[in-house]
């Protein structure tokens, strides 16, 4: 018990502001418990009883199944891209490593490289699943600032690495993908040492950026998460303070290439000004429910990255304003109750 308290204090002192919004609910009592709600910051186990390792993630929905892709982490190492599947968003089956690092040290994805913020989209024309991931080359820290592309005929992979590059020559770090209603896909990425947030329309096969690539704004933002509601685009981003939490902001636009208008911090309540100790990674539209979007964030633990926790919160639309409020424990019926 004593050891736990000391460890807890140490984590707080060294860690990324972990005192924000601690769950009142304890972490899951039993590995075998079948969850039926979202408990942000708690330990989330997969259906084998193993802690989930899927950070900086994103979601793909295909025929009744969600696939959650994210960074597989060691204490600090990047160990490729993990994928889990679920039919209900609460219970996750581990499907394995979707994109592995390789032993060939001349490869762009050689062991020791960094793979961050992977996202997967499905291309209806080529019937391929296409993964984009922020890639840093082995031994170069964050200097390479590239995007990597990999493909698979199945959602869970294994994905085949195709190439890595700087989109149109631009540095590319934190990133996301967005598919619009017309099937056109976009890569949103932090560029120019993270000063710029840029967007590039992808080629029809989703494998490359086109030259339709422009600056959204220059405000030193990262961790972009984009969604669309009633014809309006919403973009949540974080500031740039590494693993430490900072204040989120929301921009909106009626056209993807802008102009993007700064709305302000969508988070509200205790811990809001530091994004409840976390950082955005994705916004998940819930299929079959109108105006139902889940904010997905990471509460990073820089002392042990694989133990970083997940923060899932419902996005609320209150009098035309986007509001994200901390909730210890909630489930999908929340969306039905607010109607």
- Report residue 158 CA to chain centroid gap: 20
Name the β-bridge partners of 264.
Answer: 250
Q: How many residues does the chain have?
A: 339
* Spatial distance between the Cα atoms of 205 and 209, rounded to a whole number of angstroms: 10
Burial (CB count within 10 angstroms: exposed 0-12, middle 13-18, buried 19+), residue 75: exposed
Determine which residue in the list 46, 108, 174, 196 makes contact with ligand GAL, applying CB under 6 A: 174
Q: Closest-CB residue for ligand GAL?
A: 242
* Spatial distance between the Cα atoms of 13 and 158, rounded to a whole number of angstroms: 39
Selected range binding ligand GAL among 5-13, 125-133, 152-160, 238-246, rule: CB under 6 A? 238-246
The edge-to-edge listing of strands for the beta sheet with 196-202 is 175-179, 185-191, 196-202, 209-218
Phi/psi of residue 10, nearest 5 degrees = -60, -45
Of 244-283, which residues contact ligand GAL (CB under 6 A)?
A: 279
56 is a site residue for ligand GAL (CB under 6 A): yes
Nearest residue (CB) to ligand GAL, 118 versus 266: 118
Determine which residue in the list 179, 195, 240, 323 makes contact with ligand GAL, applying CB under 6 A: 240
> In the bound complex, what is the minimum distance in angstroms from residue 240's beta carbon to ligand GAL?
6
Nearest residue (CB) to ligand GAL, 266 versus 278: 278
User: Closest Cα partner for 296 from 44, 31, 14?
Assistant: 44
> In the bound complex, what is the minimum distance in angstroms from residue 12's beta carbon to ligand GAL?
19
334 is a site residue for ligand GAL (CB under 6 A): no
242 is a site residue for ligand GAL (CB under 6 A): yes
> In the bound complex, what is the minimum distance in angstroms from residue 279's beta carbon to ligand GAL?
6
> In the bound complex, what is the minimum distance in angstroms from residue 133's beta carbon to ligand GAL?
11
> In the bound complex, what is the minimum distance in angstroms from residue 243's beta carbon to ligand GAL?
5
> In the bound complex, what is the minimum distance in angstroms from residue 174's beta carbon to ligand GAL?
5
> In the bound complex, what is the minimum distance in angstroms from residue 301's beta carbon to ligand GAL?
12
Name the β-bridge partners of 283.
Answer: 295
Determine which residue in the list 117, 146, 201, 251 makes contact with ligand GAL, applying CB under 6 A: 117
> In the bound complex, what is the minimum distance in angstroms from residue 87's beta carbon to ligand GAL?
29
CB 197 within 8 A of CB 175: no
223 is a site residue for ligand GAL (CB under 6 A): yes
196 is a site residue for ligand GAL (CB under 6 A): no
Nearest residue (CB) to ligand GAL, 213 versus 298: 298
Q: List the structure tokens of 174.
A: 């934190």
Give exposure, 3-16, as e/b (b: 16+ Cβ within 10 Å). Answer: eeeeeeeebeeebb
Nearest residue (CB) to ligand GAL, 116 versus 155: 116
Nearest residue (CB) to ligand GAL, 174 versus 213: 174
Strands 321-325 and 267-268: parallel
Q: List the structure tokens of 247.
A: 């204040």
CB 191 within 8 A of CB 170: yes
Q: Which H or E run contains 187?
A: strand 185-191
Of 87-116, which residues contact ligand GAL (CB under 6 A)?
A: 116
Q: List the structure tokens of 88.
A: 């209900």
> In the bound complex, what is the minimum distance in angstroms from residue 175's beta carbon to ligand GAL?
9
Nearest residue (CB) to ligand GAL, 225 versus 327: 225
CB 51 within 8 A of CB 45: yes
195 is a site residue for ligand GAL (CB under 6 A): no
Nearest residue (CB) to ligand GAL, 75 versus 318: 75
* Spatial distance between the Cα atoms of 210 and 232, rounded to a whole number of angstroms: 23
Which spans of this chain sit near ligand GAL (rule: CB under 6 A)? 56, 116-117, 174, 222-223, 240, 242-243, 279
């Amino acid at each position: 018990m004593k050891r736990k308290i000391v460890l807890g204090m140490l984590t707080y002192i060294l860690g990324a502001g972990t005192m924000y919004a601690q769950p009142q609910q304890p972490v899951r009592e039993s590995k075998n418990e079948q969850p039926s709600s979202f408990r942000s910051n708690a330990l989330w186990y997969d259906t084998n009883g193993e802690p989930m390792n899927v950070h900086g993630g994103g979601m793909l929905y295909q025929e009744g199944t969600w696939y959650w892709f994210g960074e597989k982490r060691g204490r600090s190492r990047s160990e490729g891209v993990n994928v889990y599947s679920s039919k209900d968003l609460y219970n996750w089956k581990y499907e394995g490593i979707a994109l592995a690092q390789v032993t060939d040290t001349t490869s762009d994805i050689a062991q020791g490289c960094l793979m961050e913020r992977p996202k997967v989209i499905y291309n209806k024309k080529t019937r391929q699943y296409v993964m984009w991931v922020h890639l840093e080359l082995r031994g170069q820290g964050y200097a390479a600032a590239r995007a990597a592309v990999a493909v698979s005929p199945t959602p869970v992979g294994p994905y085949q690495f195709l190439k890595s590059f700087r989109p149109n020559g631009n540095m590319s770090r934190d990133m996301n993908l967005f598919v619009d209603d017309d099937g056109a896909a976009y890569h949103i990425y932090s560029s120019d040492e993270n000063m710029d947030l840029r967007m590039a329309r992808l080629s029809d096969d989703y494998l490359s950026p086109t030259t339709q690539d422009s600056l959204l704004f220059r405000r030193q933002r990262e961790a972009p998460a984009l969604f669309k509601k009633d014809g309006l685009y919403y973009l949540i981003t974080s500031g740039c303070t590494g693993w430490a939490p900072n204040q989120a902001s929301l921009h909106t636009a009626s056209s993807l290439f802008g102009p993007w208008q700064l709305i302000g911090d969508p988070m509200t309540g205790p811990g809001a000004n530091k994004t409840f100790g976390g950082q955005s990674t994705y916004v998940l539209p819930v299929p079959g429910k109108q105006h139902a979007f889940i904010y997905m964030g990471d509460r990073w633990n820089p002392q042990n990255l694989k133990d970083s926790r997940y923060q899932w919160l419902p996005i609320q639309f209150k009098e035309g304003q986007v509001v994200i409020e901390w909730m210890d424990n909630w489930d999908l019926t929340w969306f039905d109750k607010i109607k």
